[in-house]
Amino acid sequence: MEGNSELTVDLQAITHNVGVLRSLCRPEVRFCAVLKADGYGLGAEHVAPAIAAAGGSMLAVFSVEEAMALLDQDLPILILMPVHAKHVPDRLMESIRSGSLHFVVHEANQMKSMAALGNRLGVRIPVHLKADTGLHRGGCEPRDAIVLARAIDRSTDLDLAGLMTHFANAASSESATANQMRQIRSVHDLICEDCTAAPVVHASGTCGVLRGADYHGDMIRVGLGWSGYLTPSATELVSRLPVPLRPAVTWRSRIVLVRTIAAGDTVGYGGRWCAERTSRVGVIPVGYADGYPQDGGHPADGGPGLAVGVMPRRGMDPIDAPIIGRVSMDQVLVDLTDAQGVDVGSPVELISASPGSACGLDNLARRLQRPPHAILVQIHARVPRIHSDSVSLKSSNGGIDGMPSLAQASAVAG
């Protein structure tokens, strides 16, 4: 392994996850993959081809800057934020002319701005009208959506390609989600009565997909699910999957130093963790500057908090080693007292893709009470991303300590 840690993204797992979620839908329902924040920090330009290979129909990003990174992909791109014409760079004009770039309309002034851009380019820009049915994070009131839809339908510069909303609590509230779906369906019915357009209806994210066909509309917008995870609040929905999703992320490092300390010695800033016996302490060269959760050593920074998986020898299962003391900028300390066979150079999994692992991202999310993607997007860009086809910690033939080298990773990623 070159560097202090590596983040491996399993593209086969992503393809599997898209297939599983699509299998819950009618064949005609389209699949839009949300790749905000560089695909939740996993590398959107590498993830997108795996999405397409699994039958994806569209990519969604938040901003024009994120869209520019995906212009070479074969799928159309939907920009979710309210974009005004003056903020659209020249580099995107060709994609707009070709119809491969779609925009979300949130309100009247923004709609007029995009219509002016379409008029200037001599094209009808595809737009998706967002109705706010309860999240109150963008979009317009449902009654205003009908008025805007009529204006878009009459426009020679815009094409009403979609009608969308965003569920506020699909993970844990069936009633709230059903109410939002009724609202967007009602808006759609009125639009179809008054307009020539027949926009694609989309509302469901991952949890909405698991809620059932009543919520799928004509397209689903899946974010977290394609990476193989659900939010901690979605536990009740796991049983609705026909087969499990496959975690797509493994974050690996290694032990670089082992110290033996006496009973009564303390560890880390503030001395919050105190050894109750003679203990072996391992140092991992990763910290909050790399994006490892700063509160990983809680409670009260004394630990034991989260755990990592350390592997004694190649071919053996990882051993859980608890984090002790406060997470530092570049270092994490772990208790190796009961981890027999672990020493300097032993591989470490900070995030494991193995089902049931104590350092699986789903488990970290539960322990920290935050969504898995909130953890992923914090992993710093200085951590190399490796895009591979199911590289395993146990079976890898290359790299130091069973880890793939960067050269191998580049060859896999193309």
In Å, how far from its chain's centre is CA 42?
Answer: 8
Q: Output the DSSP codes for 117-176.
A: HHHHHTS-EEEEEEB-SS--SSSB-HHHHHHHHHHHHH-SSEEEEEEE---SSTTT-HHH
State whether residue 291 is helix, strand or coil. Answer: coil
CB-based contacts of 265: which residues, under 8 Å, 6+ apart?
A: 274, 275, 279
Answer yes or no: 36 catalytic: yes
CB-based contacts of 65: which residues, under 8 Å, 6+ apart?
A: none
In Å, how far from its chain's centre is CA 49?
Answer: 16
Cα–Cα–Cα angle for 123, 127, 131, rounded to 5 degrees: 155
40, 112, 215, 269: which one is catalytic?
269
Answer yes or no: 130 catalytic: no
Buried-exposed string 101-131: b where 16+ CB fall within 10 A, e elsewhere: bbbbbbeeebbbbbbebbbeeebbbbbbbbb
- As a whole number of angstroms, the distance between CA 6 and CA 381 comes to 11
Task: Tell me which DSSP letter residue 402 carries.
Answer: G
**Ramachandran angles phi, psi of 79, nearest 5°:** -95, 120
State whether residue 57 is helix, strand or coil. Answer: coil
Report the chain's C-alpha Rg in angstroms. Answer: 24
Enumerate the active-site residues.
36, 269
